[in-house]
Structure 1
Amino acid sequence: MSERVKIVDVGPRDGLQNEPQVVPLETKVELVERLADAGVPAVEAGAFVSPKWVPQMADSAEVLARVRRKPGVAYPVLVPNLKGLESALAAGVEEIAVFGAASEAFSQRNINCTIAESLDRFRPVAEAALARGLRVRGYVSCVLGCPYEGEVDPARSAWVSEQLIGMGCYEVSLGDTIGVGTPGKARRLVEEVAAAVPVDRLALHFHDTYGQALANILACLETGVRVVDTSVAGLGGCPYAKGASGNVATEDVVYMLQGMGLDTGIDLDALAGTGAWISERLGRPNGSRAGRAISGRTG
């Protein structure tokens, strides 16, 4: 059993995309750099999506152009289509992510097409990206519940994950988009998906709406998953999921993992400082309990 857990901080993209006020370019760049400097091995730096739908990500190309890229750190971006891929390539990205759903209703409300149609859209994107030497990651949203459908059959998540791996994704991140999962359900989901996709190619992406994210992550670590998506200071939410709070806080996950003797390579004090800084910049409460405790302890 590996003693290393890889953290993917999605704060600069998933965390900031729904902020109501415009986040300055300089703040976005500094957030990405601070996370990398704290030892986060993968920092989701932006999204090449329509500014009409996600105005907060309109300056992703500028963010990528300005960020001081640290050797050994990945800076993936979300890319929904070939137009987005062209922009991402022009910005010099080395890794992209494509985003599917396990819920038909969510897929229709989110990107106006069926799950099968969404996968057909992503295939040429993945193919073109792989041909250019990029790494491609897949996301599956609503794996444990949908705001429109309710519970989602784990078999659907397994099928979508298998399709994403089949089109060349090196890893699939399983997203509890509205944070309704509980430990037993989360573990059963991963076990079912792992029957279709090797567990070492799975990642966890859990929101903390009901305060279950840490417990869910712990339950799923027991299946052998060793990659976890998190968001510094618990930034984020889902615009299509009413009442859904942010991603699980990076600081809280790292604190738990370190207490278990699992290595993340992350400097927790530096990470907590980053969470306190971005919360202050955004004028919002720090969503990390560990971050608040550590920041208070260190002054």
Structure 2
Amino acid sequence: MRTWYRPLVVFSALMAVTAVASVVGLLVDDRELLGAPIWLKPLKFSLSFVAFGLSWAWLLSLPERRPRFLGGTAWVIIAASLLEMVIIIGQVVRGKQSHFNTGTALDSMLFSIMGATVAILLLATMVLSVYIAARRLAPAAELLAIRFGMGISLLGMAVGILMTTASSGVEGITGAHSVGVLDGGPGMPLTGWSTTGGDLRAPHFIGMHALQLLPLLALAIRGRGERVSKRVVWAASLGYLGLVVLTTWQALRGQPLFSPDWVTGTALGVLVVGVALGVLSAPRQPEVSAPPVEAERIPS
């Protein structure tokens, strides 16, 4: 980790401290907002930023020479993320909803700023992704996992845009996490994802964390040979992409994540079978390099 991009490591450490402070908030502050403990949102966001920051701190360590604009872009991401967390925590202290809240002039201004930070985060992350993806900075299977991880992560971030267009059904609230039901209804433990309607937070979460899961998969199968590893990464990455698309489609149709209809269930089954076939079709034995051939001795 000594070579990881230090500003992002420090940012991740700060987010880890924020997560601990949020846990303390959960223990000493019994207020709730939309049916969930009020400090749960900053806890989830800070943990997500820890994973995001460490992932990019590692990715930016891969180029032997890091152009100056990459560092500048990383600092833009850090600044935008910190501003978003300040607003989220500030609204928690006020006992107000941070996302989609346009009930007062102040709340509307803060939500507009958050919207701008999200756009900046998406664009800056896209810049970093294009630079890293265009270069051969890792072995073939790991590079493939990195490219897919960055791309699917961007798709997961973009799913958040759909939340701003969802109908809240509440005056002064523009946008919603849930589809078909009001935010704040029955939800899953910890995540709070709706158990009675669709919830766009599920594909948003799944997509964003491809950035961690797919490279970790590639590292886990390192040593199985390039052909085997690439086949497994291809199958897993395409399956992961399909899962993000499927869960987004499911949420937009108002279905809870774990209560799909037969159409969604069938599509999931086809996806699982496709991934399994892709993995099983990989060679069972890693390829072995042929020993060097000694030159034939010709008698003098």
Settle same-fold status: TM greater than 0.5: no
TM-score normalised by the shorter chain: which range applies?
Answer: under 0.3
User: Which of the pair has the greater relative contact order for Cα pairs under 8 Å at 6+ separation?
Assistant: 1
| TM score, norm. by length of structure 1 | 0.25
Rg (Cα) greater in structure: 2
Bigger fraction of residues in strand: 1
Higher helix share: 2
Normalised by the length of structure 2, the TM-score is 0.25
